[in-house]
Amino acid sequence: MPDIFVEEHKHKKGEPKINVHTHLEHSSGTYSEEKTKLSAEHHIEGPEAKVHVFSSFCRNPSDIFFKNQQPNEKVLLFLRKHMITNLRWISLSILLILAPIFVVPLLVFFDVGLITLPIRFTVIFLGFYYLVVSAYIYVHFITWYFNISFVTDIRVVDIDFSNLIYKNIAATKLSLVQDVSFDQIGVIPTFFDYGDVLVQTAGTMENFDFESSPQPENVVHIIHDLIGKHGTV
């Protein structure tokens, strides 16, 4: 007579299904082999998806890899900040692009001395101005583009890249993750469905904060299921 009753996990509609195959029946293999098999067969149900330039949420991405990724390690979830978080610098860029169209006639109207420069100076300055605006757009874009978080079948990886001079790569094993939660505060995050996902790790290890992550509820659910299968929750 069994002394512990374990309820069968029922898959809720709308939730991503995570399959974990335990190889308890193959007790002849070594621990590491079992662990490898276990990790290799974690996957979020659904087809593999391609990550494109503007992707911010992708399950089972097939065409992106990171440094030190193990051969049998599979990326289950790929995250960037929600695209809407770029709205501020995109708006400013549009204003900067359009500014000369409005500013130059004003300078002419008020007879400001800048316009009295030889035409070759004006052309070079205008070219340089648009080059600086292009660089501004590019730097903001790559800052967003390279701020990536991965959830693999073995660990959680967070790549931070900001202001061109700061980069930080942090990773922790799923077995060390203790809790996952998310904050979604404000009208805009609620409307566009994004929020901050906090991954808490054991002991003194640093916590992970996936800022402005799209579909935070799904992200929490996916990580929660994964850490549950690793036996920490």
Q: Which residues of 141-151 are buried (b: 16+ CB within 10 A; e: fewer)?
A: bebbeebbbbb
State yes or no: residue 115 binds another protein (CB under 8 A). Answer: no
CA distance 160 to 94: 26
The residue range among 20-28, 30-38, 112-120, 203-211 that interacts with another protein, by the rule CB under 8 A, is 112-120
The residue range among 9-17, 27-35, 47-55, 193-201 that interacts with another protein, by the rule CB under 8 A, is 47-55
Nearer to another protein, 98 or 132 (CB): 132
- Residue 10 Cβ, how far from another protein at the closest point, in Å? 37
- Residue 107 Cβ, how far from another protein at the closest point, in Å? 16
Closest CA to 212 of 175, 183, 187: 183
**Tokens at 99, concatenated:** 């500014």
Nearer to another protein, 18 or 147 (CB): 147
Nearer to another protein, 13 or 67 (CB): 67
- Residue 12 Cβ, how far from another protein at the closest point, in Å? 33
Rg of the Cα atoms in the chain? 25
CA distance 80 to 82: 6
Nearer to another protein, 66 or 192 (CB): 66
State yes or no: residue 162 binds another protein (CB under 8 A). Answer: no
Closest CA to 179 of 142, 213, 227: 227
Which residue of 83, 90, 96, 159 would you call a contact of another protein, by CB under 8 A? 159
Closest CA to 184 of 151, 220, 155: 220
State yes or no: residue 148 binds another protein (CB under 8 A). Answer: yes
The residue range among 6-14, 100-108, 131-139, 196-204 that interacts with another protein, by the rule CB under 8 A, is 131-139
Element of type H or E holding 173: strand 166-173
The residue range among 5-13, 158-166, 186-194, 219-227 that interacts with another protein, by the rule CB under 8 A, is 158-166
State yes or no: residue 65 binds another protein (CB under 8 A). Answer: yes
Closest CA to 49 of 17, 75, 18: 75
CA distance 220 to 179: 9
* Burial (CB count within 10 angstroms: exposed 0-12, middle 13-18, buried 19+), residue 59: buried
**Interface with another protein by CB under 8 A: which residues?**
50-53, 63-67, 117-118, 120-121, 124-125, 127-128, 131-132, 134-135, 138-139, 142, 145-146, 148, 159, 161, 164-165, 167, 169
